[in-house]
A and B are shown apart, each in its own frame.
Chain A
Amino acid sequence: MRFPSVVALALLAAAPPTGAAVNVVATTEDLADLTRQVGGDRVKVEAIARGYQDPHFVEAKPSFILKLAKADLLVAVGRELEVGWLPPLVQQSRNSRIQPGADGYLDASLTVRILEIPTGQITRAMGDVHPLGNPHYWLDPGNGRHIAKAIADKLSRMAPADAAYFAARYADFDRRLAEAEKRWDALMAPYKGLKVVTYHRSWPNFVDRFGLDVIGYVEPRPGIPPSPGHTLDLIAEMKRQGVKILIVEPYFDLKTPNSIARETGARVLVLPPSVGGDKDITDFIALFDHDVDLLVRTIKETGAK
């Protein structure tokens, strides 16, 4: 199984590209990397949001319009993550290929496992809730596989001559991801049920995958900055439950997390949620390598259980 796919890949890589490269714009570096994984040298990929910026608040700069104007394919996170900035960019792109609903628009969330889909009445009293579910779904490696598959399928439809190439690249990525998953699962296995606190609700897919238990958030509600009352409650709860790990996305201020850590003896762990969030996070697999390693090291150092 493994050997033939490697051989096929080598053969295909040796063959000259059959057509012009597909021009892809991805809204995040995660999606850009997954596109690269399956697209190889038959695609040209650019990302809009950087891995170290808050993907909810990207500015709709006209320079992005220029990128979108030339794109054959737009890969978006969807679930309203980009609701504040992508629609005006796409509208002004003058590019009929990538308008929502067109063939060149791929909502990567359609084939993945989405968590926290609200049931019942939702209002903004709950903060900036995402009515279509939590959009940080790429933080489950399994979902990364679904996304890569969806991109490979889409690319194959757009460049049928390269379909075999994309399929082989996908198979190779799938194999490498499966191997990496075994590694991550083994590393994380001893810490099933470990209680953590996170800043924003960015990690449900990650903690679900690796069996962690989020008992609270620094934000009182999604998108609402920390309030003193909520912080005090959180400190009390963390002390009661003996929480030793506080996960913060790199684009949030560390003032409140640090003071919570001082009060509770927990460790603040800045964990990048995206490719490009740190220098050594160069691709999707490296993202989990980095985060799992850092998490396990911190757990060991703090003696968290």
Chain B
Amino acid sequence: MRHRLRFLTGLILTGLILAALPPRPTLAGQAPAGANPSADERVALLRRELDALRQEYATRMAAIEEKLAAIEAARAAAPTPAAAAPAEPAPPPPAVAQAAPATASKVFNPDMAAIGNFVGAAGESPGGGEPSLNMQEAELSFQAVVDPYARADFFVTLSPEEVALEEGYITFTALPGGFLTKVGRMRDAFGKVNGMHPHTMPWVDRPLVTRNLTGGEDGLADAGISVARLIPNPWLFLEATGQVYQGRSAIFQAPTRGDLAWVGHLRAYQDLGESTNVDLGGSIAYGHNGLTADTTTRLLGVDATLRWKPLRRSIYTHFLARGELTWSRAEEEAGSLGALGGYGYLEYQFARRWTGGVRYDSSERALAPGLRDTGGSFLVTFRPSEFSLVRAQYRRTSLADADQPFNELLFQLQFAIGAHGAHPF
């Protein structure tokens, strides 16, 4: 058996070397074209060629011998139930099929995924609103490790109207001092919902408070630098995040280069047993609002989340309660305007693939604080698998400047292909 293997190896090896020869840019080819190399040069050339071949033979031989040893060891170690187990386990053969040379370059391709978000809407819409049938967006993600010090994440959104960089940043995962640092374009670390991508939201739409106070349809995102550090303490998880942005987002419009926007966020998390936990946050954002040369907007936010998920039945049921309050103080020429808004949300998973939810919205408008919009939603989500979902949302919106409430039915179909992303928490 062993002899046959050796013979086979030799044969394969010879074949490999022969096969490797022709396409290789031969060393002879490196001689200047047209020049007639002298005999000495030719000998030197041949010698170099021979050396290269010898080296290649040695490395290939070593590789094959290693593989053979692994295969033989694995055969020896293969569990024959009756036999006593070997004292020293030998490494089994490489379990992943060796990538063919042609695909080896793909090994370093980033993890890629595309998420489609199709939204349908029916009923009376409060001014514009969602179209009846709309491929709202497709999000493409590219994520990979850059080097031993950092990783990079890109999220590109494609909609019928535009291509946008939703987020694109590098994360330094191993800076000294425990500073988790991100540089690039990011969603501001302001509260909970602002950090969510559309496909991780538990609703079809964002709450009214997002539209009225924190940046319209898509929330706050900008280019800047984010630093987050854990605050060591014996009691709970405490993380402080500080961010500085160029000041060009839906709320902040820096008139000059020096007028940066700042965001601070403090997150406290504590397990109350293995099934239940609380997550509290406080946020502050500050920057020029562009209404005049030196007017600013200040946002304050608090958020609270209570989660319950029994571990033994974790794929079948969970409960989540979340509330966020945001207070905005926007300066304008005449003075400053304060506005308050928020939402409350309850979610219950009642079967492996089914989740129900209810949300209450209430928010003043940033620049017209007297006007308060309110709304309520009922939601049902069905997840055929981890990679798709169908959602229905009944939404009733009462706008401060409209006589009657608007009743709408929203439908969402979301589907993901590509790399398996992290589950949202």
Contacts and interface: CB of A to CB of B under 8 A. Distances in A.
B330 to A, nearest CB: 33
Interface string A243-282: 0000000111100000000000000000000000000000
B96 A95 contact: no
A138 to B, nearest CB: 14
Contacts of A251: 311-315
A85 B274 contact: no
Q: Which of B85, B97, B229, B267 has the most CB of A within 10 A?
A: B85
A111 interface: yes
A91 B151 contact: yes
Contact of B277 (A61, A109, A132, A250): A61
A111 B95 CA distance: 9
Contacts of A142: 77, 79, 85, 89
B387 A111 contact: no
Contacts of A113: 74, 78-79, 92, 95
Contact of B179 (A87, A94, A95, A185): A94
A62 B237 contact: yes
A110 B178 CA distance: 30
Contacts of A185: 81-82
A100 B421 CA distance: 17
Given A60-B422, A61-B277, A92 B180 contact: yes
B353 interface: yes
Q: Which of A88, A140, A141 has the most CB of B within 10 A?
A: A88
B174 A94 contact: yes
A146 B312 CA distance: 29
A110 B97 CA distance: 13
Given A63-B269, A145-B85, A117 B314 contact: no
A84 B81 contact: no
B84 A112 contact: no
A91 B85 contact: no
Interface in A112-137: 112-114, 117, 119, 124, 127-128, 132-133
Q: Is the interface of A mostly helix, strand, loop or mixed?
A: loop
B353 A66 contact: no
Contacts of A252: 315
Given A69-B230, A84-B423, A185-B81, A91 B173 contact: yes
A133 B173 contact: no
A57 B230 contact: no
B269 A100 contact: no
Contacts of A94: 173-175, 178-180, 229-230
A61 B81 contact: no
A233 B230 CA distance: 53
B148 interface: yes
A96 B174 contact: yes
Contacts of B314: 53-54, 57-59, 251
A94 B237 CA distance: 14
B425 A119 contact: no
Nearest to B175: A94
Contacts of B316: 253
Contacts of A106: none
B146 to A, nearest CB: 12
A84 B178 contact: no
Contacts of B82: 185
B92 A253 contact: no
Interface string A6-28: 00000000000000000000000
Interface stretch (A34-42, A173-181, A287-295, A296-304): A173-181
A91 B269 contact: no
A224 B385 contact: yes
A61 to B, nearest CB: 6
A210 interface: yes
A32 to B, nearest CB: 15
Nearest to A88: B422
Contacts of B315: 54, 57, 251-252
Nearest to B420: A83
Nearest to B425: A60
Interface string A148-189: 010000000000000000000001001001100110010001
Interface in A194-219: 209-211
Interface in A55-94: 57-63, 65-66, 69, 80, 83-85, 87-88, 91-92, 94
B87 A174 contact: yes
A4 interface: no
A178 B85 contact: yes
A128 B95 contact: no
A128 B145 contact: no
A63 B422 contact: no
A146 B313 contact: no
B352 interface: yes
Nearest to A182: B84
B343 to A, nearest CB: 23
A128 B386 contact: yes
18 contacts: A57-B314, A59-B425, A61-B277, A63-B269, A65-B237, A84-B422, A91-B180, A94-B173, A94-B174, A94-B179, A117-B97, A127-B385, A174-B85, A177-B85, A178-B85, A225-B353, A251-B312, A252-B315
Given A63-B237, A66-B237, 18 more contacts: A50-B274, A53-B314, A54-B314, A61-B277, A69-B178, A84-B386, A84-B422, A85-B422, A85-B425, A88-B425, A91-B180, A94-B180, A94-B230, A96-B173, A113-B78, A113-B92, A133-B96, A178-B85
Interface of B: 74, 77-79, 81-82, 84-85, 87-89, 91-92, 95-97, 145, 148, 151, 171, 173-175, 178-180, 229-230, 237, 239, 267, 269-271, 274, 277, 279, 309, 311-316, 352-353, 385-387, 417, 420-423, 425
Q: Which 9 A-B pairs have the closest CB atoms?
A: A96-B174, A114-B95, A53-B311, A62-B269, A62-B237, A84-B423, A94-B178, A142-B79, A60-B425
